[in-house]
Amino acid sequence: METLTLLLELALTFFLIGTFTIGGGYAMLSLIQGEVVLKHAWISAGTFADIVAVSQMTPGPVGINTATYVGYDVLVQATGSPWMGIAGSALSTFALMLPSFLIMLLIVRFYRQFKTSTLYAGTMDFLRPCVVGLIGAAAVVLIVHTTWDGCNPTFSLVRDNFPDRKSWVLLGGGYLLARKGVSPIQLILGAGALGLILY
């Protein structure tokens, strides 16, 4: 029964994420993080970073891969059964794509009106910077954890992701190399090898 509730909750959560993902895979990451790490606390910030890393190295869109992985992980954690994990990942992936399906079918029908609508273009001008902020927040949440005591915030580093100073060097180096166009796969492989040497 508990497992069923969890599956249902997972499906609803990913349906919601699919509906509100505007601006592609990285925007989806910020939504998945908001729902799965912050709201439901199904997964820790450290594990989330691992899942994103794996999703970037495997074929397919990062957002979908992350959803598949999260669905698996949540169910395995809750039940200990890999079969339930498969059910969880299938359900999350399906629920995530369902809104796209419904909306795209509408768009296919009205696609010419849609393309030339200035109302649509104007609204997107507002949504795009919003998505930029959301993606930024996804990165910040992996670095800083904020707790509130009434109106007083306490900031602390996410130790899972930043155990020491070397992490900052990796972050800075990774940023510069990624800007130069080094592929995510090469970067992640390199960083993994460095982790093995440094820690």
Partner 1 sequence: MAEAVPLWKIFAVFAKIGAFTIGGGYAMIPLIQAELGRRGWIPEEELPDIVAISQSAPGVMAVNISIFAGHRLRGLKGSVAATLGSVLPSFLMILLVAAFFTAFRDNPYVERVFLGIRPVVIALIAVPMVRMARRSCRSWWSWTIAVLSLLLVAFLQVSPVWILLCTLVLGFSLTYARQWKR
Q: Which CB, 1 or 196, lies closer to partner 1? A: 196
Cβ 146 to partner 1 shortest distance, Å: 5
Q: Check residue 44 for interaction with partner 1 (CB under 8 A).
A: no
The gap between the terminal CA atoms of the chain, to the nearest Å, is: 43
Cβ 1 to partner 1 shortest distance, Å: 24
Q: Check residue 39 for interaction with partner 1 (CB under 8 A).
A: yes
CA pair distance 51, 69, nearest whole angstrom: 7
Q: Check residue 99 for interaction with partner 1 (CB under 8 A).
A: yes
Beta bridge partners of 155: 146
Q: Are 58 and 71 in contact (CB under 8 A)?
A: no
Q: Check residue 144 for interaction with partner 1 (CB under 8 A).
A: yes
Q: Check residue 22 for interaction with partner 1 (CB under 8 A).
A: yes
Q: Check residue 151 for interaction with partner 1 (CB under 8 A).
A: no
Q: Check residue 73 for interaction with partner 1 (CB under 8 A).
A: yes
Residues 116-135 that bind partner 1 (CB under 8 A): 118-120, 122-135
User: Which residue in 108, 116, 149, 156 binds partner 1 (CB under 8 A)?
Assistant: 108
Q: Check residue 61 for interaction with partner 1 (CB under 8 A).
A: yes
Buried b (16+ CB within 10 A) or exposed e, 159-179: eebbeeeebeebbeebeeeee
Q: Check residue 15 for interaction with partner 1 (CB under 8 A).
A: no
Give the residue from 112, 43, 34 showing the smallest Cα distance to 78: 43
Give the residue from 39, 38, 70 showing the smallest Cα distance to 52: 70
Cβ 19 to partner 1 shortest distance, Å: 6
Q: Check residue 78 for interaction with partner 1 (CB under 8 A).
A: no
User: Which residue in 8, 12, 103, 157 binds partner 1 (CB under 8 A)?
Assistant: 103
What lies within 8 Å, CB to CB, of 18 at 6+ separation is: 95, 96, 97, 98, 99, 100
CA pair distance 55, 68, nearest whole angstrom: 9
How many residues line the site for partner 1 (CB under 8 A)?
114
Buried b (16+ CB within 10 A) or exposed e, 107-127: eeeeeeeeeeeeeeeeeeeee
Cβ 105 to partner 1 shortest distance, Å: 7
Q: Check residue 76 for interaction with partner 1 (CB under 8 A).
A: yes
